[in-house]
Structure 1
Amino acid sequence: MAGSNFVDYVKIFCRSGKGGAGSAHLRREKFVAMGGPDGGDGGRGGHIIVRGNRNTWTLLHLKYKRHIFAGHGESGSKQRSTGADGEDRVIEVPLGTIAKDAETGEVLFEITEHDQERILVKGGRGGLGNWNFKSATNQTPRYAQPGEDGIEMAAVLELKVLADVGLVGFPNAGKSTLLSVVSAAKPEIADYPFTTLVPNLGIVSYREHQSFAMADIPGIIEGASEGKGLGIRFLRHIERNSILLFLVPADAEDIKNEYQILLNELKQYNPELLDKGRMLAISKCDMLDEELMEEIKSDLPDLPHVFISSVANKGITELKDMIWEQLMAANE
């Protein structure tokens, strides 16, 4: 996910196709007396369809193509021939995409599975041909229905990254370094705050060819839920995570207090995030001895924790074991 190519929010204008008109044709053949009505129905207008694609990671392809129009249905014709349906327009989106009505903010649906399809805007119905209206008292109707107009609407597509584990921490807590060590992801890493400008996703290999997905979002600062820093823009991505892994560096002045600040920002943003499983990793522990670790342990919050060093590859196996145990418990 290159920073400039990651788009997780886009507003699009959609118009479904108009339905084709029904035919008011009367059968006229040389050896058929009083053939009667035989006008066919019009075809329906094309739908705007949203389809999940697990090989797509961003909404970038919609950033510069925000007007999406479906095809119109064709008119019916003689011999009860139904007009062709209008061409559907399919929008490929990453898994975890939510569709909303841009005017009301109403959530219409969400896409969470590969090849899952939902109709965003329905095409207009085709009109009925005159053969539908014949009766004992009206044997030669010379009228047919027009097709229904298509529907126009503005929609918002919003991506929430799907991952088993979400990394939560202040800038420079070591989240990107951890992700680069446990997976093949290559997030930007540097010795200054906010090097992570977009979410990064990595697949972590575990024992017996098993794996789980880990997501790293830009660092959260105090006040992120009120719009400070970058956190508020990306906090929605951890709403999809099964468990949250808090990272606090060992050189923090007060590890317990930093954890509480992070937890409070999540609570202010969405209280339901507190219902997720939580774990704590004390990062940058390559210079700590056993005595210092025991001293730090005495003042840690009451939740599963582990001391790690991504650079020295210390505690990484224990961290994976702890994560896997929590994931199995969450899925029971």
Structure 2
Amino acid sequence: MEQRIEAVAWELDSRGCSSASEPAESSHRQVQILPAALEKVVVGSDRALVLEVIEFDEFVEAQGASGGWHPDDHAEFLRILTSCRGDYSHAILIATDQLPEYDDLLVRKRIAVAQWRMRRNAEKAAASIAEQAEQPKSARQAQQEQQAAAHQQRLKREVQRRAVQSWRERKAQQEAEADAADRHERHLQQKAKLEASQAWQAAARARLRSYHNSKAKEKREHEMADIQRTDARPATAPPPEQLQRAEARAQDMLQRRADLKHAPEVLLEERKRRQHALAQKVAQGFKAKAALEEEGRLHQDTSAFRIRRNILHTDGLTAQGSGFICHVQAKIVPQWRQGL
């Protein structure tokens, strides 16, 4: 019913029937929709309410927010009323005029559908009875045929299953053979590569040995050629000036060796001479003859010097621990100075 009213309202809207063009009756005035809730307005300190708010609260208390309707139905009614611009009387009259025709057509439709279903069921029943009357043994034959077809289908599926299983076995065997052949081929390839690498390495080593041998042979040949050239060079006597310089250098070297050999003795004699002169000078200054009598005592080592020498000698020859280098109080003497 609401859908028909809404449809008629939209039809009137399309035709231009609105409350703005035609004045509505006093009993059918447009309804202004107010919000569902308004807050109370507080004025001053006496908390007085606005007159409109008081009137709205009294109306809602008396009539309810939706006039006793369900909120969903009330919202749908307001939507339809808004769609027909508030002129609901004419829309309802049109819907009321069309409602009997709609109900009549609906009833006739239902009756026609029911009669068609009855005719179809009757035709199916008559066809089934006629088929059973014409072929009384068709059910048994059909059952036998169905059983035979099912048996043939089972045999066919079994044959297909065996064929698939045989194909899978052949495929697995072929794949295994292919894998074995592939592995054998890879093994042969790796073996061939290894043999080729070993052959190349052997050839490289042979070439290297040949190269070294040839270089050594060339070196020996060059050395022999140099020796032969040296031997073939005529021997010539050095000039007299060169012989004189060589003899002078030899005499000078021998003299230096002799000086170095006798240097300690010369130094010792010089030291003794200075000590003797010093002892005589001291003896003359103190007028003591005991100093001259004990002249040999001046050349002896003191006890403190002997202690220090023993300590140094012991420390130099005794190992001080792991990794300690023994200190030897001796200078490096060249071979040509040994024994001087």
- TM-score normalized with structure 2 length: 0.11
Which has the larger Rg? Answer: 2
User: With CA pairs under 8 Å and 6+ residues apart, which has the higher RCO, 1 or 2?
Assistant: 1
- TM-score normalized with structure 1 length: 0.11
Return the structure number with greater helix share. Answer: 2
